[in-house]
Structure 1
Amino acid sequence: MNVMSPVAQDEQTLRADLAAAFRIAVELGWHESVGNHFSAAVSADGTQFLMNSKWRHFSEVTASNLLLLDANDDTVMEGPDAPDASAWCIHGTVHRLNPYARVLFHCHSPNAVTLATLADPALLPIDLNTARFFGKVALDLGFGGMADDAEEGRRIAETLGSKPVLIMGNHGVSVAGKTVAEAFEHLYYFEKAAGTLLKAYATGKPLAVMSDNLAAKTAAEWEPYSGMGEAHFAYWKRRLDRTQPDYKT
């Protein structure tokens, strides 16, 4: 009998979780044509990572068709299975330079993109969900077109730093986490929070913005609820097991 090693088992589990995230993104309307990318580090230093292949629709991503890439190997872009240039620019650079970002989701979800188009895209703390991200969102307002330039990738990686969310002005959002479930929960709540702020702006009425002290207190009060993310992601995987079990293959 072929017994899978612990390392291989860990990678297979990670592959299945990452594949599940793509399928969930479709269910929630976060996908965009055959673009955008999610990635997850396999190696301890983060430079070996999994990512979806070039121009594959999120609904067709499976555990086995995820690419295993080396962030330090630029010859990756010369091979027949080379990833999308913008994906390599963002994910390759982040995984090479930012060990905090074990998992990185980059997408153009509707509310995040709309927020990113504002001259001031800051996520103001006006309710529980927006306050969840107080002090945890980085802003990159240096948009330079399609993100396929090495210097832009470096700027994105450095600006994200150890924060879980990067609002990319005129572009979209990148979300980092220690696990796939954590990154998914960050993106889930950020998309909801951005939607709430945008609707509040649309009323034209003055916003009831929390003080910094209250917002910081509220953000800290979210910490004991971090286990919600694992439970939420587990629910979605059970749902996929019933409706799209091929994600694990």
Structure 2
Amino acid sequence: MHIPSVKDQVSAEEWQLRVDLAACYRLVALYGWSDLVFTHISARIPGPEHHFLINPYGLMFDEITASSLVKVDQQCNKVIDSPFPVNPAGFVIHSAVHAAREDVQCVLHTHTRAGVAVSAQKCGVLPLSQQSTFVLASLAYHDYEGVAFREDEKPRLQADMGQANFLMLRNHGLLTAGKSIADAFLSMYTFEATCQIQLAAQAGGELVHVNPLIVKGVAEAMRVQTGGLGGAFVWPSLIRKLDRTDESYKL
């Protein structure tokens, strides 16, 4: 598939954001978190215009490139002409989070089997693993209201999420919000691992819960673990991993 480059039509800052977001889509596919074409990762472009980048609807995540990403406004109208369609219904959840959270650059949403399974459990995320402590320190829940294409759901989702960076969409899936694409990806890696570990542990014997006091100190633990860099600490290694497989996301 030939996709014309838009590198000369955008700023250097936007181009780097496009490359990072395309990399994020490819990494989500690489780790097996994609759901054919049916979830989205959005990124806010810095500036007063409140423009966003989102995937061209209908492309698999492992096909997405920096140039194929579509620039849209808050109503999901195209800002730069693109041959690819966008999915306004898929942008409802993302636009709700971006509108309420000026601190968020990237919103990542998945429908993985483990994530949906735990979202369907009344108990939600249990404090069963080290990974779960990072999630529980900033976790919110939003009840299922059907396929998320109605504008009137936005205020309820915003109220439920508040300032949390992890959102469990009941009976639906997982969502992470990050100050950068790298932060949102690392959070989703942790969220997905938490859910997989919980399901595996529940299939075994009696469960041992982590002391709640440990959860309270987890922010400092994360700072120490990543040298204060958060997702930026692991992002270069993820890019190297991706480049060893396929560098076409940069086009």
Q: Deviations over 1:185-218 (max 9, x none)?
A: 0000111111111111121x33211232122124
Call closer, same or farther: CA 1:240–1:219 in 2, change over 3 Å. same
| C-alpha distance in structure 2 between counterparts of 1:45 and 1:119, whole Å | 41
| C-alpha distance in structure 1 between counterparts of 2:49 and 2:96, whole Å | 11
Which residue does 2:142 correspond to in 1?
140
Which residue does 1:161 correspond to in 2?
162
The reply on whether 1:206 has 2:206 as its aligned counterpart is yes
| C-alpha distance in structure 1 between counterparts of 2:89 and 2:117, whole Å | 20
| C-alpha distance in structure 2 between counterparts of 1:81 and 1:158, whole Å | 33
Structure 1, unaligned stretches of length 5 or more?
none
* Greater displacement, 61-70 / 89-98: 89-98
Call closer, same or farther: CA 1:190–1:74 in 2, change over 3 Å. closer
Matches within 5 A, 1:143-222: 143-203=144-204, 205-222=205-222
Which residue does 2:118 correspond to in 1?
115
Call closer, same or farther: CA 1:235–1:215 in 2, change over 3 Å. same
| C-alpha distance in structure 1 between counterparts of 2:177 and 2:233, whole Å | 18
TM-score w.r.t. length of structure 2: 0.87
Matches within 5 A, 1:59-70: 59-70=62-73
Q: Given that residues 183 and 230 in structure 2 are in contact (C-alpha distance below 8 angstroms), is that contact kept between their aligned partners in structure 1?
A: no
| C-alpha distance in structure 2 between counterparts of 1:193 and 1:75, whole Å | 36
Which of these residues, 10, 15, 31, is aligned with residue 28 of structure 1?
Answer: 31
Which residue does 1:50 correspond to in 2?
53
| C-alpha distance in structure 1 between counterparts of 2:234 and 2:58, whole Å | 28
TM-score w.r.t. length of structure 1: 0.87
Q: Deviations over 1:148-191 (max 9, x none)?
A: 01122332233222211100000001110011111100000111
SS for the counterpart of 1:39 is strand
Which residue does 1:100 correspond to in 2?
103
| C-alpha distance in structure 1 between counterparts of 2:135 and 2:48, whole Å | 27
| C-alpha distance in structure 2 between counterparts of 1:80 and 1:97, whole Å | 30
| C-alpha distance in structure 2 between counterparts of 1:95 and 1:46, whole Å | 13
Which residue does 2:91 correspond to in 1?
88
SS for the counterpart of 2:72 is strand
RMSD: 2.3
Which of these residues, 235, 239, 242, is aligned with residue 240 of structure 1?
Answer: 242
| C-alpha distance in structure 1 between counterparts of 2:77 and 2:239, whole Å | 35
Structure 2, unaligned stretches of length 5 or more?
1-6
| C-alpha distance in structure 2 between counterparts of 1:82 and 1:157, whole Å | 27
| C-alpha distance in structure 2 between counterparts of 1:231 and 1:154, whole Å | 34
SS for the counterpart of 1:133 is helix
